[in-house]
Amino acid sequence: MRIAVFLFMALLTAGLVYILDTTRLLPAPLGKLLSPQQGVWQNAEPVNNNFSDELKFPKLKGKAHVYLDENLVPHVFAENGDDLYFIQGYLHAKFRLWQMEFQVRAAAGRLSETLGAGDNNAILNYDRGMRRLGMVYGAENAMPEIEGNPITKSITDSYTDGVNAFIEDIDESQLPLEYKLLGQNPEKWNTLKTALLFQYMALDLAGHEDDFEHHNAASVFPKEVFEKLYPLYPDSLDPIIPRGTPFMQPGLALNTPATADSLFYPIKDTIGIRQTKPDKDNGSNNWAVAGSKTKSGRPILCNDPHLGLNLPSLWFEMQLHSPTHNMYGVSLPGAPGIIIGFNDYCAIGLTNAGRDVRDYYEMKFKDDSRKEYQFNGRWKASTFRIEEFKIKGAAAYYDTVVYTSLGPVMYDASFTGQNRVKNNKNYVVYWLAHHPGNTPYVIHQLNQAKNYDDYVEALRYFVVPAQNFLFASKTGDIAIWQNGKFPARWKGQGDFVMPGTDSAYLWQGFIPHDENPHLMNPSRGFLSSANQLPVDSAYPYYLGFGSDYPVYRGVIINRMLSKMNNITPDDMQKMQVDNYNVFAETARPVLLKYIKEDKLNAEESKYLSRLKKWNLRNDPAEGGPVIFNVWFDSLENAVWGDEFAKIKGVYKWPQESTLIDNIIKDSAFSFIDNINTPDKETINDVVTIAFQHAVPSLQQLERDDVLSWAKFKGTGIRHLLRLPALSRMNLPVGGGSHIINATKDFHGPSWRMVVQLTDETEAYGIYPGGQSGNPGSRYYDSFVNTWAAGKYKKLWVMKENETADKRVKWKMSFTK
């Protein structure tokens, strides 16, 4: 009896331990998680934590010191480059390990492994999409380039050793919080993971095109209508290279396939596949003003890349110093070097080029086995890649991906993207990022650049994602290159899905590097880019449709810069956070011109007069931008909704600038009429009806107390796992799409930087996050309030003899 009672109690105890150690019964292993000696309490970093340390690693070649300042920014001083990158890897891991691994798992289509397949297999579907897009394939193709170059081989090896040195040193209780929440352990780092991180950036910045949507639109609209809806050169365009700048004669002659025109207008089929796309506003601002326009007489370079706003932040700020090297700026945890920043000679800022470097081809296979595909009248053998997906809490999933000489079959009967639709066709994705080149080399060379020639030489090796590389130097030069590898396209190539049976439809070559759009020291005294088209129609190559090429930010930046003189870094900071809405400046007079005010009731008139009084600034407390946005959305719906409903499959409405440009040009624009009514609506009818439809929404917003811009927009910085508890939501921030301060809900300026290239560099910067990736650290989000207030911190380029400076809070020594 006693034994039975004992066994019962012992089993009860063991059962409780089991329940508290697993997720079998509870959503979280509460015992493991809450144990003060092992669980999340260990991540409660003391607010007065001492980060000083003395570390020994046999792989180091010499001595090095890291000085951490009051913002936890490391200033790394090493005796040689290998140690510098080793320590960068170590620090990235120390402060951002979980994020580094998560981003790479996302790139490699391995999220199901730790998160499970998700609702309706959404996560598994995402993973399959990444593999089928060839994300891992592209990273693998980069490896011989990176490892075949002795410079980058040694950089990436040192970096990897640094990351792994940290991983080897920590015990389970010291793991980042997210590992504990997910019940996961860190994997060792390697160079392939760095390559995958660059693939992730390539996808974010060079993975946007609307080939399927355009394909479907061309199945319904005739050519001349299509060109009105998707103009190649918007009327309001102010290109990066000013109009009238002469271009070189093209070095390449291209042959348009004879069948192209008859094939595309009209298109005979439509596509239902819904792709996962990066945010359409992944873009940025950068500008540089020459000494002729500044108070100091030296150039000032400014940059703010607009990306998804996450915690931990995409960026990690640091200074890297060696005898040959002194670079300050932001790095990507997972990659060696500084991506955006400045050294003792020059500064570099990036915005996205957004050019179309991805096409789809419809393949014809001999039979259902898909072992052979038709190409130039012959049958060619395909290969198969079997992708394994480990799934948390379920059996592994296997997916067979067919590879052709063009690339992988991304969409077929078994995979149709975000949705399930019937599809019997095989679409191959042909993407520049399948052959991404040696990105770490370019970063390293740019970090060491001393002058314009070094900068241009480094750019020659850059493939993807193409950027507008802005340059300013202490010698007074400013320059910009839209740079990357670009397919030289015949007119119309890649706008729609193309036949994969004929080599005439493949890319015939790449635009020679010297013919990429670029400009140095222009007479107007400034350069800028804001993701608009780089050139006007005088450029000899076809640009096609890439990202949306938004026009308005470029217009306002150039307008402001051309009026400014005696510019100071302070003026530039104010400009980066400016909330003036040039899109509303263009559209509001048009809307007000056509609205029939006599048809409005008292309530409607109240909102209209509020809009009229608006100062065109998207400041946080303004109601005007809410009324304007809701009205414009309603107008788009009224104008496009009826005609686009004819399209079977996916489609995309034209840009906002296209709608307003069309109305300005032609108030009898055919899309104005609602084709579902017998009457012929005029522009006055449509604008008025759109406003009347908007008013009930506005009333509801007012009742909910969100008829003010910041509340309506709801800017937040979300944790990568989308856990609200670890995010910073509802920040009082203005700005938005089309505005220099391009802060949307979860997307916006991810790093604001202003650098004045005086003898002693004067630089300012801020990013919406914090240096530590640990949600239990005071440095997790310590920059967020400063960023949200539109303020900056002064960047300190530490000198070797400043070790006693009061800004140095902690010192880490590294020896072998």
Partner 1 sequence: MKFIVSVLLTALLAFAAGLYLPWWSIAIASFLVASVLYQKPLLSFLCGFTAIFLLWGILAWLRSAGNNHILAAKASLLILKTENPVLLILVTGLIGAVTGGLAAWSGTLFRRIIKK
Residues that bind partner 1 (CB under 8 A): 2-3, 5-6, 9-10, 12-13, 16-17, 20-21, 28, 30-48, 177, 181, 723-726, 775-778, 780
CA 545/CA 652 separation, integer angstroms: 13
Report in angstroms how near the CB of residue 657 gets to partner 1 at its nearest: 42
Judge contact between 438 and 149, C-beta under 8 A. yes
Judge contact between 695 and 606, C-beta under 8 A. no
Residue type at position 172: E
Q: What is the DSSP letter of 467?
A: E
Our CB check for partner 1 shows the closer of 27 and 150 to be: 27
For residue 678, give every residue at least 6 positions away whose Cβ sits within 8 Å of its Cβ, in sequence order, or none: none
Report in angstroms how near the CB of residue 721 gets to partner 1 at its nearest: 10
Our CB check for partner 1 shows the closer of 20 and 519 to be: 20
Our CB check for partner 1 shows the closer of 37 and 523 to be: 37
Report in angstroms how near the CB of residue 809 gets to partner 1 at its nearest: 17
Our CB check for partner 1 shows the closer of 43 and 331 to be: 43
Our CB check for partner 1 shows the closer of 658 and 772 to be: 772
Our CB check for partner 1 shows the closer of 394 and 723 to be: 723
Report in angstroms how near the CB of residue 315 gets to partner 1 at its nearest: 22
CA 356/CA 290 separation, integer angstroms: 31
Our CB check for partner 1 shows the closer of 40 and 421 to be: 40
Total residues found in the chain within this entry: 816
Residue 464, token pair as written in the block? 């993807």
Report in angstroms how near the CB of residue 725 gets to partner 1 at its nearest: 4
Burial 137-165 (b: 16+ CB within 10 A, else e): bbbebbbebbbebeebeebbbbbbbbbbb
Q: Which residues pair with 814 in a beta bridge?
A: 55, 64
For residue 422, give every residue at least 6 positions away whose Cβ sits within 8 Å of its Cβ, in sequence order, or none: 272
CA 34/CA 342 separation, integer angstroms: 44
Our CB check for partner 1 shows the closer of 182 and 504 to be: 182
Burial 190-226 (b: 16+ CB within 10 A, else e): bbbbbbbbbbbbbbbbbbbbbbbbbbbbbbbbeeeeb
Residue 540, token pair as written in the block? 């000899």
Our CB check for partner 1 shows the closer of 445 and 777 to be: 777
Q: What angle do CA 574, 479, 84 make, to 5 degrees?
A: 85
The residue to which tokens 């929404």 are assigned: 697
Backbone angles phi, psi at 428, to 5 degrees: -90, 140
**In 10 A of CB 614, how many CB atoms?**
19
Report in angstroms how near the CB of residue 13 gets to partner 1 at its nearest: 4
Report in angstroms how near the CB of residue 554 gets to partner 1 at its nearest: 40
Report in angstroms how near the CB of residue 45 gets to partner 1 at its nearest: 6
Burial 56-88 (b: 16+ CB within 10 A, else e): ebeebeeebbbbbbebbbbbbbbebbbbbbbbb
SS3 state of residue 64:
strand
Report in angstroms how near the CB of residue 85 gets to partner 1 at its nearest: 32
Our CB check for partner 1 shows the closer of 151 and 170 to be: 170
Our CB check for partner 1 shows the closer of 28 and 151 to be: 28
DSSP string, 105-132: HHHTT-SHHHH-S-GGGHHHHHHHHHHH
Our CB check for partner 1 shows the closer of 6 and 233 to be: 6
Report in angstroms how near the CB of residue 97 gets to partner 1 at its nearest: 17
Report in angstroms how near the CB of residue 769 gets to partner 1 at its nearest: 15
Which helix (DSSP H) or strand (DSSP E) does residue 478 occupy? Answer: strand 478-483
Report in angstroms how near the CB of residue 750 gets to partner 1 at its nearest: 22
341 CB burial (10 A radius; 0-12, 13-18, 19+): buried
683 CB burial (10 A radius; 0-12, 13-18, 19+): buried
Report in angstroms how near the CB of residue 807 gets to partner 1 at its nearest: 23
Which helix (DSSP H) or strand (DSSP E) does residue 215 occupy? Answer: helix 211-220
Our CB check for partner 1 shows the closer of 18 and 384 to be: 18
